Amino acid sequence: MEKIRVDKWLWAIRLFKSRTLASEACDGGKVKIDGNNLKASKILLLGDVITIKHNYNLKIFKVVKLIEKRVSAVIAVTCYEDLSPPEEPSDFIPSAFAQRDKGMGRPTKKERRNIDDFSSWKD
């Protein structure tokens, strides 16, 4: 096998629970190849570098092997090389920043934009 769809490969190596979630992540701009946004139908080739933004984490993978069927986690790990930087432990709790103190009233338009910008970083 020389080529496969990105969403199918992401599902096969167990990065997403379903192929639908993988497709939505691709179409939503959460998955990039060499820094470029892509569609779920993009053809993946050996050696491509995939960047995935998922749950406050940035993951970077290099494609080592192309597979079409979902496999066990032990086999899936051999299909990619993890190039992600090591995560730094932190006490960062995103939901704590989205809350407002009692009596502060509704957020202003500017504050709301800041909250939305902060919340969209997660996706």
The string of pLDDT tens digits covering residues 33-52 is 988 888 989 999 999 999 99
Phi, psi (deg, nearest 5) at residue 39? -95, 165
Shared domain check, 96 and 54: no
Shared domain check, 71 and 54: yes
Shared domain check, 71 and 15: yes
Q: Which of 68, 79, 74 is nearest to 7 (CA)?
A: 68
Shared domain check, 61 and 18: yes
Mean pLDDT (whole number) for 54-70: 88
Shared domain check, 24 and 72: yes
At 57, the pLDDT band (50, 70, 90 cuts) reads: confident
Query: Looking at the 3D structure of the chain, how many domains does it have?
Result: 2
Shared domain check, 76 and 26: yes
Shared domain check, 104 and 52: no
- For residue 115, the enclosing domain spans 91-123
**pLDDT tens sequence across 68-116:** 999 999 999 999 999 988 876 555 555 555 567 788 888 889 988 888 8
- What 3-state class would DSSP assign to 25? helix
Shared domain check, 27 and 66: yes
Residue 107 is predicted with a pLDDT of: 85
Sign of CA dihedral 113, 88, 51, 67: negative
At 2, the pLDDT band (50, 70, 90 cuts) reads: confident
Shared domain check, 74 and 41: yes
Q: Which of 13, 39, 35, 36 is nearest to 25 (CA)?
A: 39
